[in-house]
């Protein structure tokens, strides 16, 4: 088996589907991980998502190392598919780890800042949505709990939908964070 044979296997629709979604999940993770590192008060990096990225990379490299092994035909295709699925699972976990950290940082900052009377009054003077923001911030823990309950790495059909749902909450939190930060 040669690398061109690996690329032929990887170009099959059932495998391309995983790469399409995995690349989206990876880029969302990278985006929020970089923001989290910048807005983290301690300026720290959360290592768990990076470990998951490393593990995903390892599964993909196993695929490209296949010419060094004795697998052939359907056995090779199954091996490739299994490793691509495992890589996707690691990318999925990296996203959720990043999302949990990101939402914690944002909620903590928003709650702390708006707990100061002067900051709250400035927010209410500049923006008209304080009650909606307060209600949303109070709902976020329950939304996150729901996302975590529904999280199922073994069900590859729903992974992107779950990521996009969580991303929507993250985007709203980031918007609020930026408004509070601008005061």
**Alpha carbon distance 79, 66 (integer Å):** 9
The pTM score is 0.89
Give the pLDDT confidence score for residue 73 in this predicted structure. 67
> Residues 36, 104: contact at Cβ < 8 Å?
no
Q: Buried (b) or exposed (e) across 148-170, using 16+ Cβ within 10 A?
A: eeebebeebeebbebbeebbebb
Tokens of 102: 């990101």
Q: List the helix and strand counts (H, then E) for the chain.
A: 7, 0
Averages of pLDDT over runs of 10 residues in the chain (183 residues) are: 90 93 97 93 82 97 89 82 95 96 95 91 94 96 93 80 95 97 92
88 and 20 in contact (C-beta within 8 Å)? Answer: no
Residue 12 gets which letter from DSSP? S
Amino acid 1: pLDDT: 82
pLDDT at residue 43, as a whole number:
67
Q: What is the pLDDT of residue 159?
A: 85
């Amino acid at each position: 088996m040669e690398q061109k044979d690996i690329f032929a296997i990887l170009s099959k629709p059932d495998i391309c589907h995983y790469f399409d979604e995995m690349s989206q999940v990876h880029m969302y993770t990278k985006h929020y991980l970089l923001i989290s590192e910048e807005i983290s008060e301690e300026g720290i990096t959360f290592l768990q998502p990076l470990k998951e990225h490393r593990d995903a990379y390892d599964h993909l490299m196993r695929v490209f190392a296949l010419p060094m092994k004795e697998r052939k035909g359907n056995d090779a295709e199954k091996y490739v598919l299994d490793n691509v699925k495992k890589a996707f699972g690691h990318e999925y976990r990296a996203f959720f780890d990043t999302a949990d950290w990101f939402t914690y940082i944002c909620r903590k900052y928003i709650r702390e800042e708006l707990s100061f009377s002067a900051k709250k009054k400035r927010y209410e003077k500049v923006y008209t949505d304080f009650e909606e923001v307060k209600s949303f911030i109070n709902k976020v823990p329950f939304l996150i709990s729901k996302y975590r309950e529904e999280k199922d790495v073994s069900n590859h059909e729903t992974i992107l939908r779950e990521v996009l749902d969580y991303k929507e909450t993250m985007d709203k939190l980031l918007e609020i964070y930026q408004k509070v930060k601008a005061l």
